[in-house]
Structure 1
């Protein structure tokens, strides 16, 4: 496995609010794990997290104290998304045992049902996968693009289903899975 496997992947700086309280984001630093797929092949899954996992679109009021930026965009730090993001590394590791479906813009989604005060809620975790082309062996880059509490009044953001291991196999073979037609 390559020594610089996480080169170019974001390591998020903590968010510090106007009162000086720090919200560490090291749980969203890149990591990797091994996954066995068909025919006993083992693939390295390289996991990264995008800013949308802990931020939301800028507030209309434009609260400057909540702004978080990288080299591409400026968004508002979201306490709810931040709190929920603590479970993302485990969700990423468990994708092979979870139900996954097709989402918009060549993304996939898994929906985590969580208990909350007053009932259950759904947490949508949106991700994409890409084959890694280097000399480290079989590897796939998995980026969690966004994750947030879903609106119970709206249709779930998924179309059809696909097993994560099958998605990885197709990705390694250079085949783009097709969502079902509805």
Structure 2
């Protein structure tokens, strides 16, 4: 990740989104020994950018070009709120094993936590991630996106889906052992 970017003539530090390693320890139980998982955690630029809201009819042209963040594959909009929230990501991810994880409809995984904003209010922060085995460590965790849940967003065709949680350690173990992760029913 680039250390600093310039948006609208102001510099923004992205060093908090640098790739890092973290070890998760699963405590010993009556049926299994303690397990250690060394993970590489990497972030997408979707943690601090957004796409135009197509449900509201938005396009990139609706945003000042000074807010455009370009990569080789796409152009997105720098989002001040996502950027501020992204500063909390490294600490949140170091504690992923203490959170409930869920599946999305596209088989990515996600977790939602309640966090306090700078103004003192609380919001639900959704973090979407994928996992794969790694040659550099045990599991590579890629943060696909992270943003505050929009309580006003309701897609006409989408029904509210009841999801059951899945243990983060089940996700790690099955990824490391190359086993299919069964979606909880």
Matches of 1:62 and 1:177, distance apart in 2: 40
Contact 1:121–1:152 (CA<8 Å) still a contact in 2?
no
Deviates more, 1:99-108 or 1:117-126: 117-126
Q: Which residue number corresponds to residue 7 of structure 2?
A: 17
Structure 1: 5+ residue stretches without partners: 1-10
TM-score (norm 2): 0.81
Measure the CA separation in 1 of the matches of 2:85 and 2:161. 18
Any gaps of 5 or more consecutive residues in structure 2?
A: 27-31, 53-59, 155-159
Matched residues in 2 for 1:108 and 1:72: separation? 23
Write out aligned runs for 1:85-124 (5 A).
85-116=86-117, 117=119, 119-124=121-126
Give the alignment of 1:25-40 within 5 angstroms. 25-37=14-26, 39-40=33-34
Post-superposition Cα deviations, 1:134-173, rounded to whole Å, max 9, x if no partner, equal 2x5x510001110111022457887221111111011111
TM-score after normalising by structure 1: 0.82
1:22-68 alpha-carbon deviations (Å, 9 max, x no partner):
01101001000112236323221100000110000144414210111
Give the superposition deviation at 1:112. 1.4
State how many pairs are aligned. Answer: 167
SS of alignment partner, residue 83 of structure 1:
helix
Q: Is the contact made by 2:7 and 2:78 (CA closer than 8 Å) also made in structure 1?
A: no
Pairwise CA RMSD of aligned residues?
2.2
